[in-house]
Structure 1
């Protein structure tokens, strides 16, 4: 198996009626951990960001709720943060970070894009009041502060249009104090302990990621970029899942790599590739044999579709179907669950799930060619009126195409 798992801790934030209004997302090393371990703040931030964008998907993580995401200075100042779905994300800063002019300017710029900010007021330093004009939320740790400090900080925040969240509310007494002080929201074990959400994910190799970065940086033709994507299952998997997610802000289903490139644009595509590069894990690569088989299937299905007179859109759908036809094997989950990771076009999902149709018939045919199952090949080829010699020719072309790619 050549996939790894992404884990993100998720703790609810509730309103006064104890209805969940948001989740705080935290990086976790594994399903049983309760902290980020030895990872640096930047690496933990990056892995949470990766989880939101694609590995788990903001839909699964957030549903219709907001997400509080901790960011340090490096991530805050990085363009990577701009990949997030702004109106669903609250960027949370630590009061340990002094409010420099550069940071405040960056906050204003991100607010203009739709982001909101929260300040963790634990041990709030004098002078950090400069944040109060920029933040929408403030968290006060009921266990860290003395009752007098808690009340003073709460009164100070009430002078601003800021929603005040009582943090680390773990007992009935903590909750009672918070309610008496008329806090707007609550977070802590009294309501729910953080749960860990996980998903199996595939990490693309560094070589193709760097190749694409160079192509995008040099404004290469979209055809050149698409050609690389068509040779890398992991990259194409992640691209389609990202571009069809809420993170990309699209309201249409993306059905081909060329469409994805056009819709994203080079600037956002470059940022996405940069994120992949900094979070890349070479131990999570797909085995070469699985990748090769998937790409042969994709090319052969595309060839047959073209021979059958399908238009380019139809051939693109067949290529994607072949490319992702081994997702259940790679992710070790049923194909139905694997499809949920991508939000694929209906035609592709139907093909991968074996529903009757042209795509499923062609996928059965290319699978039979791998065995080979001679009786089944003849039956399936006859069903699409394709002579054996022509099918062999298209199969050989697909095999040669992959060999030319060096796979």
Structure 2
């Protein structure tokens, strides 16, 4: 299932945007929360999308307000987000929590605050039972229809700020200002706006299982890179993670192994944890994923014959060659956003004639092997004349590429 996120601005008393609250929405029904998703899991999915899409593109340089249930704070996937850019809006737990868990939640809040995070306390938690949460929060939120002057006065005694949300009319806005609220949110200012193209990239579940296993027994980071490279969806997701706001330094990515080495084992574990938590993904357009993987293996093997040092980049060219059909994106622009090496990008703009030619040949062989043996023989004969690569060698490369792809995808 695909999801998108919608964002709604929160304003301060001066009319400036303080930040954007983000909401999970179904791709097919952007006005509604996807009812099949438990609220406690929504934070993980939104985190996934923020990492993939880029927190700066969503927040426009402002804070991002993320709704979380209390127990969700203990999940390590939230550690991927840049703490100084995130305001956590605390909501009641969906399951009963005991004293031990509650103390861990308080410690996690303290830890996040020390790293720059802010916390909004939902009105349902503004009770004497949660005095510790009140003390640790920066802002207390009240809904317009529920807010009372005495509640706002009580919050101010704690030296906390007040957010009044769900403001629908000018009259309500004026009332909220008269109550000395510090922040304002509601459809009166702006309804939630869907962040376009911010959807989860699908990947193969078998790839995730192999990744989880490899983290404990892989002999080298190269092995992990090979697993990621075997799945175009996982490769895209991983590169988006590498280029997310979580990492301060941006560097051109030459290949997957370079990216794996760049972020290190600990961050790899965080990446795997993030995608593992998201159990709502499903494989879409499996034939296109298989075709892209066949092309990647063909491109890599062909390049090894004359420029072995460029073979891993050629693999990426083949791997990403059908992203326009799979994800509905402009390939050069999309790869630039992923910070992919320029030579790979130029294969799709036509500026790198060598990679462009390799891609054309790879696509021809992939299409032929997926039709019938006679078609493959005809295409191989034509390519052999133009490249001086023996026909039998081209046949072996192509058939082995198909076998490897089918084994991985299990179609």
TM-score (norm 1): 0.85
* Candidates 52, 60, 77, aligned match of 1:63: 60
Q: CA deviation at 1:256?
A: 1.7
Matches within 5 A, 1:44-63: 44-54=42-52, 56-63=53-60
C-alpha change, 1:404 and 1:174, in structure 2 (3 Å) is closer
Structure 1 segment 48-197 matched on structure 2, within 5 A: 48-54=46-52, 56-94=53-91, 100-122=102-124, 124-150=126-152, 152-157=153-158, 159=159, 162-197=160-195
| Separation of aligned partners in 1, 2:162 and 2:384 | 65
1:258 equivalent in alignment to 2:257: yes
Spell out, residue by residue over 1:39-74, the C-alpha distance to the aligned partner (whole angstroms, 9 max, x if none). 2122222221221122x3324322312111111133
CA distance in 1, matches of 2:178, 2:385: 75
- In 1, Cα distance between equivalents of 2:215 and 2:148: 54
The answer to whether the Cα contact below 8 Å between 1:205 and 1:285 also exists between their aligned partners in 2 is no
* 2:346 paired residue among 343, 346, 350: 350
SS in structure 2 of the partner of residue 139 of structure 1: strand
Question: Does 1:359 pair with 2:355?
Answer: yes
Contact 1:72/1:93 (CA < 8 Å) preserved in 2?
yes
Contact 1:23 1:68 in 2 (8 A): yes
CA deviations over 1:76-99 (Å, ceiling 9, x no partner): 011111112222211121267999
Change in 2 beyond 3 A, CA 1:102/1:179: same
The question of whether the paired residues in 2 share the 8 Å contact of 1:243 and 1:250 is answered with: no
The 10-residue stretch of structure 1 (369-378 or 185-194) with the greater mean CA deviation from structure 2: 369-378
1:397 — aligned with what? 397
Q: Which residue matches 1:242? A: 241
Q: Tell me if the contact between 1:206 and 1:277 (Cα under 8 Å) persists in the aligned partners.
A: no
User: Are 1:326 and 2:326 matched, yes or no?
Assistant: no
Q: Which residue of 2 aligns with 1:268?
A: 267
Matched-pair contact (CA < 8 Å) for 1:116–1:136: yes
C-alpha RMSD of matched pairs (Å): 3.0
Secondary structure class of the residue paired with 2:20: strand
Q: CA deviation at 1:261?
A: 1.6
Any idea what the Cα deviations from partners look like across 1:303-358, whole Å, max 9, x if unmatched?
Answer: 333322352xx332221111000111112344356446634332222212334532
| Paired position in structure 2 for 1:277 | 276
Distance apart, 1:126 and its partner CA: 1.4
Q: CA deviation at 1:219?
A: 4.9
Total equivalences in the alignment: 392
Counterpart residue number, 2:22: 25
How far, CA to CA, are the matches of 1:227 and 1:42 in structure 2? 33
Please report how far the alpha carbon of residue 32 of structure 1 lies from its aligned counterpart in structure 2 after TM superposition.
Answer: 3.4
Aligned to 1:216: 215
1:380-406: CA deviation from partner (whole Å, max 9, x where unpaired): 975xxx3142x7625623531542562
Give the deviation of 1:249 after TM superposition.
4.0
